[in-house]
Chain A
Amino acid sequence: MDSHLKAKELLEENKTFIEKPNKQWFLKVFILAVLICIGLYALVLQITKGHLITGMRDNVVWGVYIVNFVFILGLSYAGALIAGIFHLARVEWAKPLQRILKLITVFALIVGPVYILLCLGRPERLLNLFLYPRIQSPITWDLIAIMTDLIFCIVYLYFTYIKDFALLRDNSANLNLYGWRKKLYKFLALGYQNTPEQKKLLNRALDIMAAIIIPTSIIAYSLLAWLFGMNLKVGWHSAMTAPFFVLSAVYSGIALLIIIMWIYRKTQRLEKVFTDNHFLYLGFSLVILSLFYGYFYFSQYITDWYNIQETTNRLLSKYMDFSQYGIHFSVAIFMVAFLPSIIIGVPWFRSINSIAITSVFVLAGLWVMRYLMIVPVLETPYLPMQDFRESWVHYSATWIEWSLTIAGIAICVLFFVVASKLAPIIPISEMLEKKGENKFVIFYKTRRKLSKG
C-alpha cells in the first residue's frame, strides 16, 4: 500500500511531461521533422541519381554510412548489455536508468540497420538476402544477429513497461490526457493488476530476458565486428577487432547514458531521480573504460608498429601524417583515452556539467575513431593507389551523407521525445520495489546456502 501511494506521488511529480503536449513539445517535433525531411530529400536524390553523389568510390566503398551503422548499433548493444547487467546484479542505484538504456537499445537497433540499406547499390534487391542466403557470409551472420536481437530487445523493453502502463491506466483519471491514450494504456497493460502471481511471473520473465540479452548483444556486436575482421585487410584482419568493438560499444553507451540523463535532468528537473551520485558513478566507469580503451588501442598499435610490415607502415603513417589523418587521430585519441582521466579523474575539474561535457567529447571522439578505423584502412589496399582521380583516392563525405547522418540522429531523438511523452522516462513501478523484493531466477538455486539466515 505504501509503495502504491509513493507511486502516485512520483507520477504526480512527473506528470507534466507525460500529460498533453504543449507548444514547446510540438516545436521540438517540428524541428526534428524538418531535419528528417532534409535527409529524405537527400535520400531521394541518392536513389534517383545513383551513388555517385555520395563520396564513396571503388576503394572506399564504405563511408560515413557504415561508420554510423557501426556506431549506432554499438550504442544499442551497449544499452542492452548495461541494462541486463544492472538488472541481474540488482544494482539499486541504477534502477532509474533502466528505461533510458532499453530505449537506447531499441531505437538504435531500428535506426542503425537503415544505414546499411543506404549503402547498398541496389536496395530494392534486399529480399535476395532471404531468397539466396549464404551462411558463409558475415552479412548473413549480422542479419540473423540483428533480427534476433531486435526481437529480444523489443520484448524486453515491453516487459519493463507493463507495470508502468498498469500504473498509468489506474491513475489516468488524475492526468490530463487524450481519451485514446487512456484506452491505449488499458490495452498495453494487458490486464496487469500487480497480484503476487502476476508479479512473480513478470519478474521472472524480466530476469530471463536480461540473462538472454547479455550474451546476445555481445555475440551480435562481435558478428558485426567480423564484418571487418573477416576481410584480408591490414588494420582489420586482427583478432582484436571483436573485443575492441565490444569495449568501444560499452564505452559509447555509458557516455550516451550520461548525456541523456543530463538532458532530462536539466530540462525536466529530475534532480531527485538522476542524482549527483549517478553522474559520479557513471563518470568513474567512464574513466575506467577510457583507460581500457587506451590499453586496447596501445596493445594493437604497438604490435603493429614494433615489427612493421610494408602495408601496415603505409596505414599507420597516415595516422601520424598531419596532412592526412594526423589531426583527426591525435584529437580523437586524446578525447577518448585521456580526457575522462583528466576531467573526471582530477577532483578540481569534476562536476556534473564537466562529466556531461566530457561524455559529449567522448561520444564524438569515438565516432571519429570509428571513422579512422574504417576509411583510412579502405584507402590503404595492398596495391599502391594509382588512380588519377582525386575523389577516387581520398574519401570525403558529401552533404548527402551528412544530411542523412543528421536525419538518423534526428529520428532517434524523435523516438525519445515521443516515448518520454507516452510513458515516464523513469521506470516508476520498478524504482519503488523494495530491495530484495524480487527473488533471483537465474542464480536462485545455489547448491549450498551461501550464508546462514
Chain B
Amino acid sequence: MKDKKSNSRRKFLSTGLKIGVATAAGGLAAAKILEEPPKKSEKIKVLTTDGTVIEVEKPANDCKINPCSPAKGIEARKGIPGRSFVMVIDLAKCKNARKCVEGCQKGHDLLPDQELMKVYLMKDNPESEPYWFPKNCFHCDNPPCVKVCPVGATFKRTDNVVLVDADRCIGCKFCISACPYSARILNWENKETYASNDPDYSPETQTPGQHGVVSKCDFCPDRAREGKLPYCASSCPMGAIYFGDKNEDTVTNGEETLRFKELIKERVGYRYLEELGTEPNVYYLPPVNRMFPYERGFSNLSEEKKEILLKSISKP
C-alpha cells in the first residue's frame, strides 16, 4: 500500500517534470519566432568638408537612451538604467508666466483645469516678500503615495521616477490623500481622447489618458529618452527649471548646463518640507536676488484671482 503510494507520486513528479521541460522548450522556440527581424539601417547623404558626398547611417531620431520609444507594461516599472533624474527650480527666476503649466498640459493631453505642474504664491513668514513657487511631483525616494497603493499601480523606478500605471489604477484616491505635496490629481471628467487598455499607452507618457484614474507629473522619461527636457523645463521662458541626472552631476535648463552638486551647495538649494522625511528629488534655489518683483506675476491673472492668492498666504 505504502509502496504503491510513493510509486504513484514518483510517477506524477516525473510526468510533471517532463511537461514542464516541454513547455519551457516550446516557450523558447516561440520567443525565437516572435523576435523582431533585424532592422535595415537607413542611410543619409552627407557632404564632407572636402566636397565629396558620402552615405552614412542615419542616427535613430536623436535617440540618447536605448530603447528610444517609451517603455510599456512591466518594462515601464524598471526605469532607465544608470539614470538618476533630478530637478532644480530657481525661484529667483520665476515670474508666474505659467508657460510650464501650459506646456505640461499640452504634452500630457490634459484638460485646461488639470495641472500636473502648479504655480503657488508662497510667503514664508510675515516679514518676507512673497514669491512664486512652481511645484510638480517631487518624485520622492521615500514616496508616501507608493506605500499606500493597494494594487501597485503607482511605483518607484530605479531612475528616481514615480509613475502611475493607469491600466491598473482602481481610482481609490488613497495616494492623492497620502501625498503631502498635493501632487496628484484624478481624471474626474471623461474626455474623447481617453481610452482604457490602449496598446499605445505608456506610463511614461500617460497618453492616452483614462477616466477615473490618478494622474501625476511623470518627469517625462519619454522625452529624456529622446534627449529632450521635460515639457515644463523646455517651455519656461526664464529658464527657471533645470533638469538633469544626479549620476552625471549635471542639470540643464536648455541654455546653461550646471554641476548639480555645486549648484545646490553654492546657492543653498533646499527641498520643500524636508522634515517630512520623504526625500524629494526636486530642489529649490531660494528666491534671493530676484529678477522680477513678485507683483509681475499677477499680470496674467484677474483681480479676483489675485485676491484669492493674497488671502491664502495671509495667516488665519
Contact = CB atoms under 8 A, between A and B. Distances in A.
A386 B172 CA distance: 24
A126 interface: yes
A132 interface: yes
B186 interface: yes
A314 to B, nearest CB: 6
Interface in B114-152: 118, 120-122, 135, 144, 147-152
B231 to A, nearest CB: 20
A388 B308 contact: yes
Given A52-B188, A134-B150, A137-B147, A386 B121 contact: yes
B84 interface: no
B170 A389 contact: no
Contact of A52 (B153, B177, B189, B213): B189
A125 B213 CA distance: 11
Interface residues of A, number: 47
A137 B149 contact: yes
A382 B169 CA distance: 25
Interface in B281-309: 304-305, 308-309
Contact of A384 (B168, B171, B312): B312
Interface string A378-404: 100111111011000000000000000
Nearest to A321: B316
Contacts, number: 135
Interface in A187-213: none
Contact of B120 (A119, A232, A386): A386
Contacts of A139: 148, 150, 172, 174
A233 B181 CA distance: 10
A13 interface: no
A56 B172 CA distance: 12
A51 B144 CA distance: 25
A230 interface: yes
A65 to B, nearest CB: 11
Contacts of B315: 313
A7 to B, nearest CB: 49
B173 interface: yes
Interface string A129-161: 101111011111001000000000000000000
A307 interface: no
B305 A388 contact: yes
B108 to A, nearest CB: 16
A436 interface: no
Contact of B151 (A62, A134, A314): A134
Contact of A386 (B169, B178, B309): B309
A231 B178 contact: yes
A384 B153 CA distance: 28
B300 to A, nearest CB: 13
A137 B173 contact: no
B125 to A, nearest CB: 10
Given A122-B212, A386-B309, 14 more contacts: A50-B211, A119-B172, A121-B212, A122-B171, A122-B213, A126-B170, A128-B151, A128-B153, A131-B151, A136-B148, A138-B174, A140-B150, A381-B182, A388-B305
13 contacts: A57-B188, A58-B176, A58-B182, A58-B186, A62-B173, A62-B177, A119-B173, A123-B170, A133-B150, A386-B120, A388-B304, A388-B305, A388-B308
Top-5 shortest CB links A-B: A121-B171, A121-B212, A139-B150, A61-B173, A137-B150
Interface of A: 50-52, 56-59, 61-62, 116, 119-123, 125-126, 128-129, 131-134, 136-140, 143, 227, 230-233, 313-314, 317, 321, 378, 381-386, 388-389
